[in-house]
């Protein structure tokens, strides 16, 4: 897999999903099989704050709940993990959520967007423009299909278009 880059239609936001992250996400999705799963995205921003760089995707926390048709991400261990990433020499931090639908349907639900709006307005993650990555089953050619969004606090979610 190679690094994926996207930009919103209005060019306000840009994202880079590193190849290593896409590989890890593909493995998490395969391991989940026929149930939904998810975790958080960790990364940083470019020096000029125009690009979100996703450098890590976590597995689902151990207290997550999941079934074929829904997923509730747990929180076990996340606070400690995020604090360690913040203190590291190459500082990274919470940048969003990823979520797997075990079918080819990669349409975010109203609950998905509602959760992101809560995160953008809350203080727990201090992330005013969280990313949402929805992954689906592999396509006929074996590539994992996905859609990526940014969910600014006071705006409608915006989809990233690959470039």
Expressed in percent and rounded to 5, the helix, strand and coil fractions of the chain are: 20, 35, 45
pTM: 0.93
Reply yes or no on whether the pLDDT at 54 is more than 70.
yes
pLDDT computed for residue 15 by the predictor? 98
- Determine the CATH number of domain 4-162: 3.40.140.10
- Domain ranges for the chain, please list them: 4-162
Question: Is residue 18 over pLDDT 70?
Answer: yes
User: What pLDDT sits at residue 50?
Assistant: 87
CA dihedral 62, 81, 101, 2 (to 10 degrees): -140
Q: What is the mean pLDDT of residues 28-48?
A: 94
The rounded mean pLDDT for the chain is 92
Is pLDDT of 141 > 90? no
Distance, in Å, from the CA atom of 33 to the CA atom of 129, rounded to the nearest integer, reads: 30
Positions marked active-site: 36
Q: Is the pLDDT of residue 139 over 80?
A: no
pLDDT category, 30, cuts 50, 70, 90? very high
pLDDT of res. 72: 93
Instruction: With a cut of 70, say whether residue 58 has pLDDT above it.
Output: yes
Tell me: pLDDT of 140 over 70: no
**61-104 pLDDT per residue, tens:** 999 999 998 899 999 999 999 999 999 999 999 999 999 999 87
Tally: H helices and E strands in the chain:
3, 10
- Judged against a pLDDT cut of 70, whether residue 111 lies above it is answered with yes
**What does the pLDDT read at residue 137?**
84
Residues 6+ positions from 28 with CB-CB distance below 8 Å: 37, 39, 57, 59, 60, 100
Q: Closest by alpha carbon to 96, among 153, 151, 50, 40?
A: 40
């Amino acid at each position: 897999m190679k690094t994926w880059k996207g930009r919103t239609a209005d060019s306000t936001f840009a994202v880079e999903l590193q190849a290593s992250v896409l590989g890890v996400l593909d493995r998490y999705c395969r391991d989940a099989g026929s149930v939904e799963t998810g975790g958080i995205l960790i990364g940083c921003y470019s020096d000029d704050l125009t690009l979100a760089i996703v450098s890590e995707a976590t597995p689902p926390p151990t207290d997550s709940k999941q079934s074929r048709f829904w997923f509730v991400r747990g929180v076990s261990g996340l606070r400690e993990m995020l604090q360690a990433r913040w203190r590291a020499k190459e500082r990274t931090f919470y940048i969003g959520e990823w979520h797997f639908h075990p079918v080819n349907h990669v349409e975010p639900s109203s609950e998905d967007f509602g959760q992101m709006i809560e995160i953008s307005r809350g203080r727990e993650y201090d992330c005013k423009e969280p990313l949402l990555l929805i992954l689906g089953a592999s396509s006929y050619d074996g590539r994992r299909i996905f859609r990526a969004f940014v969910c600014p606090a006071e705006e409608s979610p915006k989809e990233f278009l690959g470039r």
